[in-house]
Structure 1
Amino acid sequence: MRKSNLRSRVFVIAITTLISLLLILYPRTHEDKKPGEPGLLGRKRTGEEMLKDFTSWSAIKANMASHIKLGLDLKGGTHLVMQVETDEVIKKFTDNNARQAEETLKKANIPLKAVTSPASGQVIVELTDAGRYEDAKTKVQNEFGPEWEFSKSGATVLNYSLTAIGGEQRRAQAFRQAMEIIENRVNAFGVAEPTIQSHGPEKAYQILLQLPGVDDPERVKRLVNADSNLELKAVVGQPNVSQTKEQALQAAASGGGVAGNMEALPVASDRNGGSTEGGFIVVEKNPVITGIDLRDAAAIMYKITKYTLP
């Protein structure tokens, strides 16, 4: 009885070992597969070629490398812990809202003394006419949305503060966007199994990045730390191209552009490979939409024009 059990155990161990070796050593793909040939392995391989996979040391090493992915502790590489600057995100968000409030009130012809941002998450609007207080309050609140709380500081002063929930949502969104950007950039290294995950406490907003086999940490830092800002800005007046910045700004000002909220940008070549003679076009400084305002984005095929839209 004992011998029978021993033989069964030996048989199971031998089969398991054989299957494991086949899984580790047998190649998944072959370089000699021709385009259009069916199946994962392409053409039927000869017995000599199959035997070479188990007798050639170079073939064995290549097959093992394709099946066994070594981690950072065995293979070496780059280990980085990055801090997402969420405070800077809130500051930029606050400054954008302050500029937007000023522009909205000026367009509504509501007299202003000043619109300031003394701290991140705080916007103070000072009016010169107390009679327009309710109008200004409605305009700014509609522009800011539920993320901001209003408090009255005087007959002509409106005080807006970013709510705790709104601030946390903005920070979390910036963190998720940073993770996605880093993941897309890391793909350029061609690393088989990179590690990109949250590190530390939930609200630490740190990202752990491990790249096995990549021994150039400075290059990794340059790649992942490069600025990436999406801003969509409205064109001031008619989209006419001027030869110089000064001409563009003058034309926009005469067309009703708000002084201090305009900038002239160079015109780029078109998407079809054509070129322009150069020039400038005027847009508003305050962006209509920034990357932090986007909840999601995807490429779709428009049914009528068949253009790919962002």
Structure 2
Amino acid sequence: MNPNLKWKALFIFAVILFCIYFLFGYPVFPTSLAQVRDNFSKQIKLGLDLQGGTHLILQVQVQEAIAQETDTTVDRLTTLLRSKNIHYDEVHRVDDTHILVRNLDPAQLSQFRDIYNAQFATDWDMSAAAGDLNGYSWTLRTSAIARIQESTMTQSLETIERRINALGLTEPTIQPHGRKDNEILVQLPGEGDPTRAKSVIQAGGQLELKLVEDPVPYASQAE
């Protein structure tokens, strides 16, 4: 036999032996068939289609976060106007992205603008309110809406990942889903109880989620 071919064959054989050992003999050298299976399961990570598990698509309620930001702004503005003794009839949220200040004292407009410029101009546009001579309409800027959406999604992903890790599952998938900006894909290999998974994800009541698809457990194709 050609010496070069001989060494190549020995090298290939050694690599094959190493791979077999890594699959079946690591991390503990097996002394029984059960240990062989245990070693193999630790080295080969089966996906959802082979191992079985739960597939969820969750929708984060980012609009509620935007509405909460508007409510917070109403409270802050009301507190500041009262602390400066600025007279007005009403400050209220018109919808998720609009605030109306009604019948502001014209003599105190300069103080009102100072508060707006110092505290709110980064996130809010201000204009004269239609039909209210001394009223002002505030509109949440597009950049602020995008920031709130991104922050809400980031916090939701981190919260879901932290809660899923408590289940002790191997390599779950938690990531943004599809073209929408508010959906999260959760795949949990080995978790056959979608109701339990959903309850763990929503534990504590701090995460506003909506189930986009019914949680159906995936049966293992290896069965």
Identify the TM-score tier after normalising by the shorter chain.
Answer: 0.7 to 0.9
Is contact 1:133–1:156 with CA below 8 Å preserved after alignment?
no
Q: Which runs of 5+ in 2 are unaligned?
A: 208-223
Of the three residues 197, 200, 208, the one matched with 2:185 is 208
**Displacement after TM superposition at 1:10 (Å):** 3.2
Identity %: 31
Give me the whole-angstrom Cα distance separating, in 2, the residues matched to 1:26 and 1:83. Answer: 43
Q: SS of the counterpart of 1:78?
A: strand
Q: Which runs of 5+ in 1 are unaligned?
A: 30-49, 230-310
The CA deviation string for residues 18-72 of structure 1, in whole angstroms up to 9 with x for no partner, is 010111122326xxxxxxxxxxxxxxxxxxxx4xx1x510110111122222111
**Displacement after TM superposition at 1:143 (Å):** 2.7
Highest RCO, 1 vs 2 (Cα 8 Å, sep ≥ 6) = 2
Of the three residues 50, 58, 61, the one matched with 1:85 is 61
**Displacement after TM superposition at 1:6 (Å):** 5.0
Residues 275-290 of structure 1: pairs in structure 2 closer than 5 A = none
The CA deviation string for residues 223-260 of structure 1, in whole angstroms up to 9 with x for no partner, is 2123227xxxxxxxxxxxxxxxxxxxxxxxxxxxxxxx
The CA deviation string for residues 180-230 of structure 1, in whole angstroms up to 9 with x for no partner, is 0001111110012111111112x522111111101111111112123227x
Give me the whole-angstrom Cα distance separating, in 1, the residues matched to 2:105 and 2:158. Answer: 47
The aligned amino acid for 1:223 is: V
**Displacement after TM superposition at 1:83 (Å):** 0.9
Give me the whole-angstrom Cα distance separating, in 2, the residues matched to 1:178 and 1:222. Answer: 15
**Displacement after TM superposition at 1:132 (Å):** 1.3
Is contact 1:130–1:155 with CA below 8 Å preserved after alignment?
no
Aligned twin of 1:196: 174
Aligned residues: 204
Residues 1-310 of structure 1: pairs in structure 2 closer than 5 A = 7-28=6-27, 50=29, 53=30, 55-153=31-129, 155-201=133-179, 203-226=180-203, 227-228=205-206
The CA deviation string for residues 68-107 of structure 1, in whole angstroms up to 9 with x for no partner, is 2211111001111111111111111111111211121112
The aligned amino acid for 1:124 is: L
Aligned twin of 2:217: none
**Displacement after TM superposition at 1:160 (Å):** 1.2
Q: SS of the counterpart of 1:200?
A: coil
Q: 1:141 to 1:225 in 2, by over 3 A?
A: farther
Q: SS of the counterpart of 1:112?
A: coil
The aligned amino acid for 2:18 is: I
Aligned Cα RMSD in Å?
Answer: 2.0
Give me the whole-angstrom Cα distance separating, in 2, the residues matched to 1:120 and 1:16. Answer: 63
Q: SS of the counterpart of 1:177?
A: helix
The aligned amino acid for 1:195 is: T
Is contact 1:104–1:140 with CA below 8 Å preserved after alignment?
no
Q: SS of the counterpart of 1:169?
A: helix
How high is the TM-score relative to the length of structure 2? 0.83
How high is the TM-score relative to the length of structure 1? 0.61
Give me the whole-angstrom Cα distance separating, in 2, the residues matched to 1:217 and 1:141. Answer: 49
The aligned amino acid for 2:164 is: V
